[in-house]
């Protein structure tokens, strides 16, 4: 092979690599009528792809899963109920200020079951769903551990209660940062899907602020936002289970505005 041919082949290979990287880094719509979509180097017809939908925890355009299993509504329901019950305590509804009764939900429904549904999302190939559900399932289990005497967490801070509050604040602000990362992953999804993680982010920030400052009002505000978050989670769970075959009422996803970037 001549030197000129080698250089030409090298340039073509480099050009091809750039094209492949371009295809991987962003969704590419092409064809005379925009009928083709390339995702991660795979070419699909537009009608072969599913849009973002909170009922399946699918944050963007993607191929339909190979199986029909949709574990997302179970995880969303566990998250919703556990969040609402804890948030009612944080808001001091009915004058209740001791949240220990939520430990049962945090261990079982919001914790173990939600974690399991996250593993099932892994089986369906839904990376976002797996990340969100297993993480928040682990959150609830770890939160419950704070109130379980066998772990000795509260006992370790008996000599200085302020350290306990600040430690809980660090715990909550860490989850706020994680939730913000998920918020960024839902900017191209639907209003209900984005709202779930956005309100959850605000909830964590307020609860962390209440723990750090000691102001009950801030914690109660976090409780109110938590209740709203729980109901949004239940709505997304409903969206993933209700069809025209089983309900007279079905969800109608509202997509967020799309902004093109070069």
**Distance between CA atoms of residues 113 and 121, nearest Å:** 12
Q: Model's pTM, two decimal places?
A: 0.79
- Mean residue pLDDT of the chain comes to 83
Quote the tokens at residue 8. Answer: 């030409």
Whole-number pLDDT of residue 27: 59
Question: How many C-alpha atoms does 6 have within 13 Å on its Cβ side?
Answer: 3
User: How many domains does the chain divide into?
Assistant: 1
Is the pLDDT reported for residue 90 higher than 90? yes
DSSP assigned state of 113: I
In the β-sheet with 36-39, what is the strand arrangement from edge to edge? Answer: 28-30, 36-39, 42-45
Q: How confident is the model at residue 69 (pLDDT cuts 50, 70, 90)?
A: confident
Domain-located, residue 254 = no
Q: Which range among 35-39, 112-116, 120-124 has the greatest average pLDDT? A: 112-116
pLDDT tens-digit readout, 186-244: 998 899 999 999 999 999 999 999 999 999 999 999 999 999 999 999 999 999 899 88
| Residue 186 forms part of a structural domain | yes
Q: Are strands 28-30 and 36-39 parallel, antiparallel or unpaired?
A: antiparallel
Rounded CA-CA distance 200/56 in Å is 18
261 domain residue, yes or no: no
**Which of 26-40, 63-77, 109-123 is least confident?**
26-40
Q: How far is the C-alpha of 102 from the C-alpha of 85, rounded, in Å?
A: 7
What confidence score (pLDDT) does residue 99 get? 86
Give burial (CB, 10 Å; 0-12/13-18/19+) of 253: middle
Residue 262 inside a domain? The answer is no
| Spatial separation of the C-alpha atoms in residues 230 and 210, rounded to whole Å | 20
Residue 136: closest CA among 154, 152, 116: 116
Residue showing tokens 């660090």:
170
Query: Of the given ranges (17-21, 24-28, 86-90, 209-213), which has the lowest mean pLDDT?
Result: 17-21
Confidence label for 157 from pLDDT (cuts 50, 70 and 90): very high
Split at pLDDT 50, 70, 90, the class of 22 is: very low
Segments forming the whole domain that contains residue 122: 69-241
**4 part of a folded domain:** no
Q: Which residue has the higher pLDDT, 232 or 256?
A: 232
33 in any annotated domain: no
Closest CA to 83 of 109, 62, 46: 109
Answer whether residue 151 is part of any domain: yes
Q: 30: pLDDT confidence band, cut at 50, 70 and 90?
A: low
Say if 47 falls within a structural domain: no
Instruction: Count other C-beta atoms under 10 Å from residue 44's C-beta.
Output: 16
């Amino acid at each position: 092979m001549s030197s000129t041919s080698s250089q030409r082949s090298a340039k073509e290979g480099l050009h091809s690599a750039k094209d492949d990287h371009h295809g991987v880094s962003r969704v590419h719509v092409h064809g005379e009528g925009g009928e083709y979509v390339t995702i991660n180097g795979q070419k699909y017809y537009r009608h072969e792809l599913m849009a973002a939908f909170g009922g399946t925890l699918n944050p963007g355009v993607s191929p339909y899963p190979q199986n029909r299993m949709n574990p997302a509504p179970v995880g969303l329901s566990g998250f919703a109920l556990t969040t609402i019950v804890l948030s009612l305590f944080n808001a001091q509804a009915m004058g209740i200020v001791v949240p220990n009764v939520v430990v049962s939900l945090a261990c079982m429904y919001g914790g173990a079951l939600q974690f399991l549904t996250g593993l099932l999302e892994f089986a369906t190939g839904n990376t976002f769903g797996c990340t969100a559900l297993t993480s928040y399932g682990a959150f609830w289990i770890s939160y419950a551990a704070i109130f379980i005497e066998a772990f000795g967490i509260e006992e370790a801070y008996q000599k200085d209660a302020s350290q306990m509050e600040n430690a809980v604040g660090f715990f909550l602000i860490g989850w706020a940062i994680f939730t913000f990362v998920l918020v960024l992953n839902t900017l191209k999804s639907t209003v209900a899907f984005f709202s779930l993680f956005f309100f959850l982010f605000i909830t964590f920030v307020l609860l962390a602020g209440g723990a750090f400052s000691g102001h009950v009002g801030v914690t109660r505000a976090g409780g109110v936002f938590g209740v709203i978050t729980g109901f949004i989670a239940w709505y997304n769970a409903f969206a993933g289970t209700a069809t025209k075959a089983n309900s007279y009422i079905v969800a109608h996803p509202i997509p967020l505005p799309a902004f093109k970037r070069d």
